[in-house]
Amino acid sequence: MNKACLIGLMSCLCYNTASAAEDTDYVSSGKSANGSSLSFPAYHDPLTELDLDERDNRFQFERSSLGALNVQDPLEGMNRLTYRFNAEFDRYVYLPVVRGYVWATPGFVRTGVSNVTNNLRDIPYLVNNLLQLKFERSAQTTARLLFNSIIGVGGMFDVAKAMDLPAQKEDFGQTLGHYGVPAGPYLVIPFLGPSSLRDGTGYAVDWMIDNGVNYMEHRDYMSDHPYTWGIWAIDLRYQTPFRYGALDSPFEYDQVRYLYTKLREFQVEN
């Protein structure tokens, strides 16, 4: 796919999800963008039931374009059930907790928490940039870590951003892709969402990297203070703009799968 088209598609997705976040203020109403109640029916393949009106040659899209939605998904039935579970968990548990977090904490506290967690994520980013021999990005990530950890008081302030040092995000899934490892079958992981066999393995390796480095002994601190894991999980959802139902489409599963797959291809190539 053309890179410009992909960026456009992702922009539309981000716009819709971000708009949903602003409109609900983290209130999980269980409604789609047009106000109707969200519904996640039992699994079926919607493409098999699609009927195009070919009268007068008024096509909204070419029939052959449906093939663009085809992704290696041998576990589609299970993945759709997991997608539905994630949507319901998000609606009834995760977003209500995030809403309480937003209500109970001032903005500068939430920003500080997000900055700290983002600073810690620079550790696996640095390792993966080095593994991919991206030395300029590695140097920038090292500078980010030093400036934010020292001047930014343990990462509470993102001073590197003001110094034009953006995060150079590289995970182990991208590292594997960089060296030619195929994505493998598409997966929907409980609680985490879209992934693939390669990227799921990457999650585990990045976790081990973070645990092994134990930067500023944060893993030891989190082990001694279990509530910090809850804060980490809440902040993760707080920073994620995606909202189930925001696409307002019966093809949401297919669209998310397609966009995720193409986004990962784009990230690996760059």
Which residues lie across from 195 on neighbouring strands?
Answer: 187
Residue that the structure tokens 């139902």 belong to: 245
Inside any domain, residue 60: no
pLDDT tens across 3-21, in order?
A: 544 444 454 444 444 433 4
Confidence at 110, pLDDT banded by 50, 70, 90: very high
- d(CA 178, CA 170) in angstroms, rounded, equals 10
Whether 228 contacts 222, CB under 8 Å: yes
Answer with the residue of higher pLDDT: 218 or 85: 85
Q: Give the number of domains in the chain.
A: 1
Kindly report the pTM of this predicted structure: 0.77
Per-residue b or e along 86-120, where b marks 16 or more CB atoms closer than 10 Å to that residue's CB: bbeebbeebbebbbebbeeeeeeebebbbbbbbbb
pLDDT attached to residue 7? 47
Inside any domain, residue 228: yes
Residue that the structure tokens 């001047």 belong to: 151
Inside any domain, residue 140: yes
Domain that holds residue 221: 71-239
For residue 32, pLDDT beyond 70: no
Inside any domain, residue 126: yes
pLDDT tens across 224-260, in order?
A: 899 999 999 999 999 999 999 888 888 899 999 999 9
Inside any domain, residue 55: no
